[in-house]
Amino acid sequence: MNKESQPPPEDEDSFESRWESAKLYLLLSVFPLIGLLIAALGYANYLKAEAFLEHALRAQSEVIASGTRDYKPLFRYIDQHGQEQFAYISANNGGSYFEKGDTATVLYSADGEHDIEVDTFSSKYGDSLPVCMFGGVFTAIGMLFMMVMRAEFFLTRYRRIFWRRIETQLTAIEVDWKTQSGERHPIRFVSTARHPETKRMRTYKSKYLWLDREKYSGLSSLTVYVKPGSSKKYYVEIPAPPKQARS
């Protein structure tokens, strides 16, 4: 006969399921860390560009030769000393947008320690902003997955408190042979019991999980939480493997 009881204490949670969740949570936490690192690199490039622009000198230039094989047009300009200067400006610094005969404002440093750049938005911030945006997206994706996991954690606690708990008889452990990772296949647990409200026998199935089937060979029952007032919504709690299977 099926019995209803109070939710199990905290220390009766499945150690294996908690460990799997913890490993997944740690893995997902790497995403925002990597995203923050990428964004920090982009911001460092932005500060470098700002430092250059603060002291950069400007001059009008003319393209006297179109881009070479590596897209570097030749610019001619007059520096602060009135001397004619020539410079190949790479695509990264805005040079690929110009052809012979075009004119543009170029930025250069008085000490010559910084590459000459064309005065365009993409040449000044083209490296930093995309990197910052990519890092931000990477961080947002990681945070979103972590929030989903936390939501699942609280949803499980909610079910334990407000849904009806029943003990069911395990009837099968099904294997999804079509899905494979290495030599492993996901499994799901199938059990039967009378629904606490309809009093009819029904089947309860868990989600497919990446667990070791052999460790659950001695399992005979499962705890299921049934939503009050519903004959279809339920939650199958996966226990820790039987002790004899873990030893």
- pLDDT, one tens digit per residue, over 132-187 is 888 888 788 888 877 877 777 788 889 899 999 999 999 999 999 999 888 889 99
Per-domain boundaries in the chain: 1-160, 163-247
Instruction: Look over the chain and give the mean of its residue pLDDT values, rounded to a whole number.
Output: 79
Q: Which pLDDT score, from 0 to 100, does residue 13 have?
A: 43
* pLDDT over 70, % of the chain: 78
For the segment 108-134, the average pLDDT, to the nearest whole number, is 74
The pLDDT value recorded for residue 5 is 42
With 60 as the cut, is the pLDDT of residue 4 above it? Answer: no
Average pLDDT, stretch 19-42?
74
pLDDT in tens, 193-244: 999 999 999 999 999 988 888 888 888 999 999 999 988 899 999 887 776 5
What is the spatial distance between Cα 82 and Cα 101, in angstroms, rounded to a whole number? 21
Can you list the pairs that 27-33 forms with residues at least 24 positions away whose Cβ atoms lie under 8 Å?
28/142, 28/145, 28/146, 28/149, 29/142, 29/146, 30/142, 31/138, 31/139, 31/141, 31/142, 31/145, 32/138, 32/139, 32/142, 32/143, 32/146, 33/142
Predicted pLDDT of residue 70: 61
